[in-house]
Structure 1
Amino acid sequence: MSKKAFQFIAVLLIAIFVLAGCGGESSSNGGNSGGDAPAEITYASTSDAAGLSPIDTNDSVSSNVTYQIYETLFTQDPQTLESKPLLAKSYETPDENTWVIKLREGIKFHDGTPFNAEAVKYTFDQIRDPERAAPRASLLAPIESVEVKDEYTVVIKTKEPYGPMLAALSHTNAAIVSPKADKEGDINKNPVGTGPFKFVEWVEGDHITLERNEDYWKDPAALEKVTFKVVPEVSTAISMLETGEVQFIDALPSDQLPRIENINGVKVQKSPGTRVSYLGFNMEKAPFNELEFRKAVAYGVDQEAYVNQLNGLGTFSESIIGPKVFGYNEKAEEAGYAFDKEKAKQIVEENGYGDEEINLLVANRASYMKMAEIVQAQLTEIGLNVQIETMEWATFLETGRKGDYEMTFLGWSNSTADGSELLYPNLHSDNIGSSNFSRYSNPEFDKLVEESRQTVDQEVRKEKLHEANVMAIKDAVWVIMEHGTVTAAYDESVENLVVDPTGQWSLYNVSRK
């Protein structure tokens, strides 16, 4: 070979390598070219949000979205669950009924209007307004007044001492909204907060898109775009995680866990959580308002067998207040009605409960559908005639609040990890028609729960919560199916994703490598 030919071939090879290095690379992890880290993430949910206003919604699907858009005065440490300032800068309690909260300055809502004391007062007054009928009005029920001391100071007066105040002000449904946006538009469709992500669009039944808030009061988020994709079939969502069409799913179904854990390039998080899932009764209808009927169901449902097939994604407990929730006392476990098929059969036969058809209303979510199929079979064995009716999530929530059902499955994430904020919204008679789906009304129980809220002595609070918990267990208000395990599966390119025990997660610190 001549020297010139050799030089020509050498130059040609170098050119080929250079071109190869400059060429675009396809990626199943986000579609970026040039090897750059993807600046977006897609999360798959089996249900669409019910709405995008923290004031007007009260479900985990909606709060997953609103948690990225809005912010609260306080937030909970994801590890300790202790409350610490967020939009608030500091607070003091000059007396047990007064909370003086100093706010951070210079923060703006996504519409450019200022975050200040007036915005806090407006938001809290809206939550407390009976005409608005906020589903989590119970969070602020003890508040007597919210006053503006100056532009960045709010003074909250309570009727009685309120032990869970900081936990309540850390709750996603106590997030601060733009007064201008709420007055002039519909924040349930076009949300406006102060958070790290701004709303872009909502194509109902398909997706919700958010974009990075470049003017965020802290450093802007690493992610430029967040998509909440509605994927009704969980098996499809898992396939999309496998192919890279989505990068994050949570609330993993137990029967799919082995499949998920075997996907190359996917990481799985599992840890004990605060969520409780239960079978509930409409106590304003017969025979569900009869203790004997509820005891028959409680005896007839084998929750431990249900939990045993969850692949470690649940904890068996007869207690309504779970082990990860403030107020739990293991002695409460003794108050429940342990599985006893023969005793259940006897109660059904003696009272003729098997003569009528029972409607079991179920939201079209994988976990509830699985519970329904198992429980239907178990109740059939004790002589009850149970028929399942399924319903889309948002419609299900509306139906349940109205009391248009007989028996149903529900869960409570307990975003505050506080027993008072489990028992009060779900079982206190104040909240029939909103968050008390069971429509349970018991003055003695109500009094105990109120006492657990009306003191800042945490030991007294624990005692009252335990008494109330035992009373509700003996009343068989719920059949506890499981205390949940917090789970998530995500592409290995996703970094700094933390799901706390309440099941909440923020995408602010998340990046893609």
Structure 2
Amino acid sequence: MKKILFSLVALTFLLLAACSSDSNGNNEQGSNGNEEGGESAADQELIYATTSDAPGLSPIDTNDSVSSNVVDQVFETLFVRNSDTGEIEPRLAESYETPDDTTWVIELKEGIEFHDGTPFNAEAVKYTFETLIDPERAAPRASLLAPVESVEVEDEYTVVINTKEPYGAMLAALSHSNSAIVSPEADQNGDINQEPVGTGPYKFVEWSKGDQIVLEKNEDYWRGEPGLDKVTFKVVPSVSTAISMMETGEVHFIDGVTSEHKSRIEGNDSFELITKDGTPVYNLGFNYEHEPMNDVEFRKAVSHALNRDSYVETLDGLGVRSNSIVGPQVFGYDESNEDLGYEYDPEKAKEIVEENGFDSETYHMLVPNRDAYINMGEIVQAQLSEVGINVEMEMMEWGTFLDVATEGEFDLTFLSWSNVTGDGSELLYPNLHSDNIGSSNRARYANDEFDQLVEASRDTTDQEARKEFLVEANQLAVEDAIWIPMHHGVIAAAVHESVKGLELESTGRWELYQVTRE
């Protein structure tokens, strides 16, 4: 029996929490008083600017980074990934054990309540996970728990997860935003996609569609009262507008900073630019149900047409060039895969285009109306045109783009994946395994050999064996030009000088629990 307890981690965390409660503005005088050196309640509001409204606010019913930014403040997962070490650590879980390869016994922390007052317990975990994998709910990230056969309540604070086969990525899956635990009562009696109810440090207040989402601190939060009184997610037209609002103090935090705005941020002494090598991957993807996107010769022509070195240079240090779909910060990466793929060779691309008549049609390229994707779209459109491949670019609002891309209404599009787990299986399985066509596999790619390799990477708890399967699956994907990796992300955010304690994870996630304003 393999048993892992987290008492030392928990003790350390409690000690740190006790220390921070005296220094982060959570004490009565610091948060609510006007004593010298203290902050007023109004000062403890943080305004985050986003260029897209969230499609929804439920971890079960969404699968995008904009929604997850809100979800991560309101809901919590059983486990979390330590961004510095890559290790999986407990959050709502206390400990776990695996008496055999298909059984996970998880002990839960006690005395925690959801924002609506209902208890967090094994029944809530069972309800959440069964709902996540229920076909009638059609959760977009049901694939996280696809190997699960049953979820059982052993006692009030012990849940047992049984899988159909060994599942090596189980802890990574349970650390994902979309595995966050929801209030059963709120989900059954309301709409948590509009009015979310979790156990997290911030509670939902209101959502003015297209304008803002407002959260307030959870004064009864089990880890201690958070430092901010209020958090507002403000929808703005562009990153440039957000920076202007930061200059006037109307906004305190933005992420997804692109090279276009980097110098402006770095040139303002009131801002700080925070960067971190990340797990996100940005790809040019094809719809494999459309001709000639399903022809490997077409995909090779596109690959040879793209000068990705030149493209990455436009990112000014905010992107990493790689031939590998599984990136350097992700479990399963192997440097040998950098030697694969199809390098920039416009003459070769022209030759393939002319031989196959790929210049006889105009192809539909779908692009979300966010700065990073627009930049990619314009560069790719121009470079493809130079070799005789004509594409018509259509831009769409983020939420609409997700729906249209899922329905397969495109020839080419830009696909990205934050890879919140930092695990290669949870990159390749949801995005490119045939099980997920019609949901997260927007490319509609199906390949039996690839499927078997990805399944093998999930069906063992031997981490070295998992990595070997992932390296092989990644090699097949690169050689088949399933996706063309445009770049791997460097996480970049700008914060106002008054914001203290914000840390970025390599996955692009961030939490506001420990954040204050001075």
TM-score by length of 1: 0.93
Residue of structure 2 aligned with 1:302, choices 304, 307, 311? 307
1:305-454 aligned within 5 A? 305-454=310-459
What is the CA–CA distance in structure 1 between the aligned matches of 2:412 and 2:515, rounded to whole Å? 40
Instruction: Tell me the distance in 1 between the aligned counterparts of 2:250 and 2:79.
Output: 35
- More deviation in 193-202 or 401-410? 401-410
Map of 1:21 onto structure 2: none
Alignment partner, residue 9 of structure 1: none
The answer as to 2:271 corresponding to 1:266 is yes
Structure-1 residue corresponding to 2:30: none
Match of 1:492 among 491, 497, 500: 497
Residues 407 and 258 (structure 1), Cα distance of their counterparts in 2 relative to 1, 3 Å cut: same
The residue that corresponds to 2:90 in the other structure is 85
1:44-78 CA-to-partner distances (Å, cap 9, x unmatched) read 00111010000000000000000000000011113
**1:427 and 1:176 mapped to 2: Cα distance?**
26
User: Whole-Å Cα distance in 1 between the matches of residues 237 and 484 of structure 2?
Assistant: 27
Query: 2:103 is aligned with what amino acid?
Result: T
Matched residue SS, 1:226: strand
**1:170-181 paired onto structure 2 within 5 Å:** 170-181=175-186
Q: Name the counterpart of 1:282.
A: 287
Question: Offset of 1:111 from its aligned partner?
Answer: 0.6
Measured after TM superposition, the shift of residue 244 of structure 1 is 1.1
Partner secondary structure for residue 471 of structure 1: helix
Tell me the secondary structure at the aligned position of residue 143 of structure 2. helix
Alignment of 1:250-265 (within 5 A): 250-265=255-270
Range moving further from structure 2, 74-83 or 201-210:
74-83
Q: Equivalent residue of 1:123, what SS? A: helix
* CA deviations over 1:422-472 (Å, ceiling 9, x no partner): 000000000001110111100100000000011111111111000000001
CA distance in 2, matches of 1:241, 1:436: 37
Letter in 2 for 1:388: M
- Structure-2 residue corresponding to 1:154: 159
Alignment correspondent of 1:15: none
State the secondary structure of the residue aligned to 2:491: strand
d(CA) in 1 for partners of 2:299 and 2:501?
45
- State the AA in 2 paired with 1:511: T
Distance 1:200 1:312 in 2: 38
Q: Flag the 1:281–1:33 CA change in 2: closer, same or farther, 3 A.
A: farther
Please give the per-residue CA displacement for 1:149-204, whole angstroms capped at 9, x wherever unaligned: 11110000011111111110000000000011111111100000000000000001
Cα separation, 2, equivalents of 1:190 and 1:483: 34
Give the 3-state SS of the residue equivalent to 1:349 in structure 2.
Answer: helix
**Per the alignment, in what secondary structure is the counterpart of residue 510 of structure 2?**
coil
CA distance in 1, matches of 2:427, 2:318: 21
Q: Displacement of 1:406 after TM fit?
A: 1.0
- Find the aligned partners of 1:331 and 1:213 in 2 and give their Cα distance: 48
Q: Does 1:142 align with 2:147?
A: yes
Q: Quick one: which amino acid aligns to residue 343 of structure 1?
A: K
Structure 1: give runs of 5+ residues left out of the alignment: 1-31
Identify the match of residue 40 of structure 1 among 35, 42, 45.
Answer: 45
Separation (CA, whole Å) in 2 of partners of 1:63 and 1:382: 39
Distance 2:110 2:161 in 1: 19
SS at match of 1:469: helix
Name the CA distance, whole Å, in 2 between partners of 1:297 and 1:487.
Answer: 29
Where does residue 23 of structure 1 map in the other structure?
none
Q: Give the Cα–Cα distance (whole angstroms) in 2 for the partners of residues 98 and 434 of structure 1.
A: 28
Q: Secondary structure at the match of 2:344?
A: coil
- Give the deviation of 1:386 after TM superposition: 0.8
Letter in 1 for 2:428: L
The structural deviation recorded for 1:232 is 2.1
> Which residue among 452, 456, 465 is the counterpart of 1:460?
465
Question: Is 1:210 aligned to residue 215 of structure 2?
Answer: yes
**In structure 2, how many angstroms separate the alpha carbons of the residues matched to 1:112 and 1:459?**
44
* Unaligned runs of at least 5 residues, structure 2: 1-33
Equivalent AA in structure 2 for residue 326 of structure 1? F
* Aligned mates of 1:336, 1:33 — CA distance in 2: 62
Letter of the 1:394 counterpart: G
Structure 1 Cα separation of the partners of residues 473 and 323 of structure 2: 14
**Could you tell me which residue of structure 1 aligns to residue 5 of structure 2?**
none
Which residue matches 1:58? 63
Q: Which residue of 1 aligns with 2:24?
A: none
Distance 1:34 1:105 in 2: 39
- Cα deviation, residue 81, structure 1: 2.4
Structure 1 counterpart of 2:204, one-letter code: F
With 238-247 and 366-375 compared, the bigger mean Cα shift is at: 238-247
1:477 equivalent to 2:497? Answer no
Code of the aligned partner of 1:466: V
Measured in 2, the distance between the counterparts of 1:477 and 1:275 equals 17
- In structure 1, distance between residues paired with 2:476 and 2:249: 49
- Cα distance in structure 1, aligned partners of 2:37 and 2:236: 28
Separation in 1, partners of 2:38, 2:357: 68
The one-letter code of the counterpart of 1:135 is P
CA distance in 1 between partners of 2:340 and 2:433 (Å): 20
The 1-side partners of 2:209 and 2:463 are apart by 44
> SS of 1:48's equivalent?
coil
Query: What is the Cα deviation at residue 492 of structure 1?
Result: 1.1
Q: What is the rounded CA distance, in whole Å, between the counterparts of 2:267 and 2:340 in structure 1?
A: 41
Taking the aligned partners of 2:457 and 2:83, their CA distance within structure 1 comes to 24
Report SS of the residue matched to 1:215. coil
Corresponding residue for 2:201?
196
What is the letter of the counterpart of residue 402 of structure 1?
E
Q: Secondary structure at the match of 2:299?
A: helix
Q: Where has structure 1 moved over 3 Å in runs of 4 or more?
A: 32-36
2:81 matched residue in structure 1: 76
Aligned equivalents of 1:449 and 1:116: distance in 2? 33
Matches of 1:89 and 1:215, distance apart in 2: 19
Q: Deviations over 1:486-506 (max 9, x none)?
A: 111101111110001001000
Q: What percentage of residue pairs aligned between the two structures are identical?
A: 63
SS, match of residue 378 in structure 1: helix
Question: Could you tell me how far apart the structure 2 residues matched to 1:271 and 1:153 are?
Answer: 37
Of residues 49, 55, 58, the one that matches 2:54 is 49
**CA offsets per residue over residues 67-101 of structure 1, 9 Å max, x none?**
00000001111311211111111111111110000
